[in-house]
Structure 1
Amino acid sequence: MSSANGLEGRHLLLTGAARGLGAVIARHLAEAGAQLTLADILEEEGRAVAADLGAAFHALDLRDPDSVAALGTALDGPLHGLFNNGAIATGIGGIGFEDVDIETWDRVIEVNVRGTWLMTRACAPALRASGSGRIVNVASDTALWGAPNLMSYVASKGAVMSMTRSLARELGPDGIGVTAIAPGILTTESTEYVPQARHDQYGTGRAVPGPQPPEDVAGTVAFLLSEPALTLTGQVLPVNRGFVFT
């Protein structure tokens, strides 16, 4: 059993856990006493993180429905939390909406939207079995203020927000809470391609000025995966230090 406000004894699954935000969150949750299962398409990096944390690891391709279903089937026992972090975020920006090629659009939507749905569907039985399942989806504040020249990504994260609200309704009767976080630009590998001017805009536009490391949102995610977070189900939390687009 977990403590009233902690993660001890809770089995949590994290996708996209090989590096960046996923790896940071995994380390934080492990330190909080959670039992972790990590998944990523980057097998070598993912297995290294899992070995360091004493976690289980599964190779996962969110574009492949069979791969997602296999992970759901392989889960060992009840699942108390799912962190839907796996996504395509790099190599797709800086392009006007008229110049986005269809292959890129489909790839981003398949991973970020369909992958989130498939992963949730695959884990639903194990989440129900835990009696206190929690799902945290990773959206983006770009879908809140409408970032330009990033159409496929913004569209995908807007969909994740809408899915969060709908899933909260469908899974609520089972006692499963569903929330989403919407970070801004974090200092991870996935944002290295972002122009410095945009980094500067975020730095000065935050209520708490300056860069935002991924560690900054770890505590929020940990709470949302805990039992008391059920009251926040259906909510999208902009974990961006009060950034306002001007």
Structure 2
Amino acid sequence: MTGSTGDFAGRRIVITGGARGLGAAFVTALAEAGARVCFGDVLHDAGAALAQQLAVQGHDVGYLPLDLARPESVSAFVEAASQRMGGIDGLVNNAAITNSGGRLAGELPVQTWDAVLDVNVRGTWLMCVAAQRWLRESGRGAIVNIASDTALWGAPRLLAYVASKGAVIAMTHSLAREFGAEDITVNAIAPGLTEVEATAYVPGDRHAYYLEGRALRRPQTPADVTGPVLFLLSGAARFVTGQLLPVNGGFVMN
């Protein structure tokens, strides 16, 4: 294996939440780098359209339905994706829901808390476990969990989401130690507020707060996040595991 971040020819990558936003950016960037990609989402029309668009361009990309709130859907998705590609070399756990935005902690319905944690935390765990066998057999397995810098600075009025992303970060550390014995790397990216469809609901003052607080004074785009994700999936990062990489233009610094 080379140490290059461009060694994706034939690599088999699974991505959750790939129909739009950051997920679609990951799907596209990996396909353009030569990887074989299978992605899942609950947004069936958007997922099928993206897969078709990339297939027309000559890329090996497939879409399969996936609902992280349903454990049986996770199992079926991983089985179908592994069969389609003949295995799995990398997993990007990108899918997540917010649902709690704008509410104070005491205003959160229990049902909302449970829904966010079910998808963002339980769903990520189930995906890692379901893909573990295939990643082990790959001999170069890599997992990248998409967290959020909201868990690093404690964004208010977003408690369920922040708690879920904090759990993803902690889970990344633990899984890295467990999966390391099988030569599977597990890392996390913590993006800042990114200009995508899913953040259109975010109030303008929160966007301004991020913009003013960044060392790099510009909006964050999906292209700012794809490079770090590809690096952590690549051969250049084979001895990097259990790490959290904030990607937010210097809004939060380690």
TM-score (norm 1): 0.96
Is the Cα contact below 8 Å between 1:37 and 1:56 reproduced in 2? yes
Structure 1 equivalent of residue 29 of structure 2:
28
Q: Offset of 1:71 from its aligned partner?
A: 1.4
> Where does the alignment leave 5 or more consecutive residues of structure 2 unmatched?
56-60
Matched, 1:231 2:232: no
Amino acid of the residue matched to residue 85 of structure 1?
N
- The CA deviation string for residues 117-151 of structure 1, in whole angstroms up to 9 with x for no partner, is 01111111111111000000010000001001100
Q: Which runs of 5+ in 1 are unaligned?
A: none
**Could you say what the CA RMSD is over the residues aligned between the two structures, in angstroms?**
1.4
The one-letter code of the counterpart of 1:145 is W
Alignment of 1:173-212 (within 5 A): 173-212=181-220
- 1:4: how far off? 4.1
Cα offset, 1:228, TM superposition = 2.2
Using the alignment, how far apart are the partners of 2:132 and 2:161 within structure 1? 26
Post-superposition shift, 1:50?
Answer: 1.1
More off after superposition, 220-229 vs 133-142 = 220-229
Q: Give the equivalent residue in structure 2 for 1:49.
A: 50
d(CA) in 2 for partners of 1:244 and 1:132?
31
Scaled by the length of structure 2, the TM-score of the pair is: 0.93
Q: Which residue of 1 aligns with 2:164?
A: 156
- Identical aligned pairs, as a percentage? 53
State how far apart, in whole Å, the 2-side matches of 1:147 and 1:49 are. Answer: 32
Between 104-113 and 3-12, report the one with greater CA deviation.
3-12
Once the two structures are superposed, residues 73-97 of structure 1 have per-residue CA deviations (whole angstroms, 9 ceiling, x without a partner) of: 22122211000001103x4211000
1:216 deviation in Å? 1.0
In the TM superposition, 1:92-131 aligns within 5 A as: 92-131=100-139
2:77 to 52, 71, 75: 71
Give the equivalent residue in structure 2 for 1:86.
95
Q: 1:114 to 1:78 in 2, by over 3 A?
A: same
In structure 1, C-alpha distance between the alignment counterparts of 2:102 and 2:76, rounded to whole Å: 35
Give the Cα separation in 1 of the matches to 2:3 and 2:244. Answer: 25
Q: Runs in 1 of length 4+ with deviation above 3 angstroms?
A: 1-5
In 2, distance between residues paired with 1:127 and 1:171? 10
Task: Kindly indicate whether the alpha-carbon contact (under 8 Å) linking 2:3 and 2:234 is maintained by their aligned counterparts in 1.
Answer: no
Equivalent of 1:60, from 66, 72, 77? Answer: 66
Match of 2:237, SS?
Answer: helix
Deviation at 1:238, TM superposition (A): 0.4
> Do the aligned residues in 1 keep the contact of 2:2 with 2:236 (CA within 8 Å)?
no
Q: Match for 2:179: what amino acid?
A: L
Give the residue type in structure 2 aligned to 1:95: R
| CA deviation after TM superposition for structure 1 residue 218, in Å | 0.7
Q: How many residues align?
A: 244
How far the C-alpha of 1:3 sits from its partner, in A, is: 7.5
Which residue in the other structure is 1:134 paired with? 142
Q: String of CA shifts for 1:26-45, please: whole Å, max 9, x gaps.
A: 11111111100011111111
Q: One-letter code of the match for 2:32?
A: E
For 1:192 and 1:11, locate their aligned partners in 2 and report how far apart those are by CA, in whole Å.
32
Counterpart secondary structure, 1:182? strand
Shift of 1:230: 2.3
Map of 1:16 onto structure 2 = 17
Distance (whole Å) between structure 1 residues aligned to residue 171 and residue 48 of structure 2: 30
Tell me how far apart the structure 2 counterparts of residues 69 and 171 of structure 1 sit (CA, whole Å): 19
Counterpart Cα distance in 1 of 2:2 and 2:48: 26
Maintained 8 Å contact 1:177/1:232: yes
